[in-house]
Amino acid sequence: MADKRKVVIDCDTGVDDAMALLLCLKRLDVLGITTVGGNVGLQNTQRNTRYVTEIAGRTDVPVFAGYAKPLLVPLQDASYVHGAGGLGNIQVPEPQKPLEKQHAVDFIIETFMDQNDVSLITLGPLTNIAQALLKEPRLAQRIPDILTMGGSTAGGNATAAAEFNIFVDPEAAKLVFESGIPIRMVGLNLTRQQVATPEMRDRVKAIGNPAAQFAARLFGDREGKPGRDSFCDACAVMWMIDPTVITKSAKMHVTVETRGEFTRGMTVCDIRGFRSDVPPSDIAHEYHFDPLPAGGTPNVEVALELDAPRFDRVLLETLEMYS
C-alpha cells in the first residue's frame, strides 16, 4: 500500500478497539493484528477481531492469538463495560476468516526483527509485547516506536488511579514503558475529551455502508454512559492517521506502579515541570521549569489535547471510504 504507514496492531477487541480497527484497516498498512486477553477473554477478543476484518473487507490481514492472561496475575476483564462477548449487544457470528496458527508473540518478533519501518500500536493490556521482549530482548532496539492507548496523567477508570489496559497487567506495562522504545501514550486524560454523541451516531448511520452500519451500532454501546462514552482506542490511532487530531502533547517521565495498595497499575507521570503558573489550571501544556529534585529522563510523549471536531470529521471521512 503506497505511502500508508506500516503497522502491527495488538488489541483486546472490545467496542472501542473495533472502532479503531475500522479506522486503521482503511487508513494504515496493517501487516497483522495480534490479540490478547483484556476487555473479555482471548477466545472472544480474537474472534471479534476476525469479525471486524470481515466487516472491513480486509480478511487479507492476518489475525493472531497471543496470551490469554497477564504475566503474573489472573485476568480481570471488562465484560461489565463491553458485554460478555466484547462488542456490547452485537451478537458476533463465528467468522469465516480463520485464526493464524502462529502465536502472536512469534509474529511480533518475526516482523520487527525482519523489518525496519513498521510501527507498533497497542490497544489493550501489554502482555504480548512484554512477552515478546522477554523472549527476544533485541526487540527493544528493533521496534522504532510504540503508540499505546493506556494510562492517564489524571486518574483512572479501572480504579481511581489506574487505567484498564495498564491495570490488567502492570508488570507488563512497566517492562514496556522502561524498555527504552520511544512511546507515545494516549491516556484517559486525552480520551475523555472525545464523546460519542447521538448526533454523531446518526451521521455515521446515514453513511449507509456495512462498515458504517456496524460503527453506528458501536455508538449505541457508548451513548449515555458518562465516563464510558469515549472510543479510547480510536483516539489513540488517530494520532498516527491524522496527527493534527492531537493538538498538544508533551514529553515526560512515565513509569508504572506495580506495588501500591491503592495505586497498582497507575501511570506515574512526572508533570512537575508542567505546573501551571496560571491558577486555577492544573498543568500547563508547555514545559515550564525543571522540577526539583530533577525528575526521571522523559521517556514518553503524552497526548494532552484533542481536536474533537476533527476527530469526528476523520471518523466520518474514513467510514465513507468504505462505500
Count CB neighbours of 223 within 10 A: 14
Question: Least Å distance between CB 278 and ligand RIB?
Answer: 30
Among residues 70, 271, 102, 261, which one has the least CA distance to residue 185? Answer: 271
The 204-243 contact track toward Ca ion, x by CB under 5 A, reads -----------------------------x----------
Residue 55 is inside which H or E element, if any? helix 42-55
Question: Least Å distance between CB 216 and Ca ion?
Answer: 20
Q: Is 250 helix (H, G, I), strand (E, B) or coil?
A: strand
Question: Least Å distance between CB 121 and ligand RIB?
Answer: 11
Question: Least Å distance between CB 247 and Ca ion?
Answer: 23
Q: What is the DSSP string of 176-209?
A: HHTS---EEEE-HHHHTT----HHHHHHHHTT-S
Q: CB nearer to ligand RIB: give 78 or 181.
A: 78
Work out the angle between the directed axes of helices 198-205 and 308-320 (0-180°, nearest 10).
20
Q: Should residue 121 be labelled a site residue for ligand RIB when binding is judged by CB under 6 A? A: no
| DSSP symbol at 153 | S
Residues paired with 146 in a beta bridge = 120, 183
Stretch that binds Ca ion, among 17-25, 101-109, 294-302, 312-320 (CB under 5 A): 17-25
Residues in 256-315 at the binding interface with ligand RIB, rule: CB under 6 A = none
Q: CB nearer to ligand RIB: give 30 or 149.
A: 149
Q: CB nearer to ligand RIB: give 233 or 307.
A: 233
What are the strands, taking DSSP E only, across 246-315?
246-252, 254-256, 267-269, 300-306
Q: Should residue 125 be labelled a site residue for Ca ion when binding is judged by CB under 5 A? A: no
Q: Should residue 149 be labelled a site residue for ligand RIB when binding is judged by CB under 6 A? A: yes
Distance CA 51, CA 106 (A): 22
- Among 232, 241, 252, 269, the residue binding ligand RIB under the rule CB under 6 A is 232
- 157 makes contact, choosing from Ca ion, ligand RIB, none, with CB < 5 to 8 Å by partner type, with ligand RIB
- 221 makes contact, choosing from Ca ion, ligand RIB, none, with CB < 5 to 8 Å by partner type, with none
Which residues have C-beta within 8 Å of that of residue 117, sequence separation ≥ 6? 6, 144
Q: CB nearer to ligand RIB: give 171 or 284.
A: 171
Residue entry with cell 506515574 = 268
- Among 100, 163, 171, 242, the residue binding ligand RIB under the rule CB under 6 A is 163
Cell numbers for 301: 510523549
Q: Should residue 10 be labelled a site residue for ligand RIB when binding is judged by CB under 6 A? A: no
CB 193, CB 305: distance < 8 Å = yes
CB 319, CB 231: distance < 8 Å = no
Question: Least Å distance between CB 20 and Ca ion?
Answer: 8
CB 61, CB 25: distance < 8 Å = yes
Q: Should residue 249 be labelled a site residue for ligand RIB when binding is judged by CB under 6 A? A: no
- Among 32, 37, 38, 70, the residue binding ligand RIB under the rule CB under 6 A is 38
The residues of the shown chain that bind ligand RIB, judged by CB under 6 A, are 12, 14, 16-17, 38-39, 78, 123-124, 149, 157, 163-165, 232-233
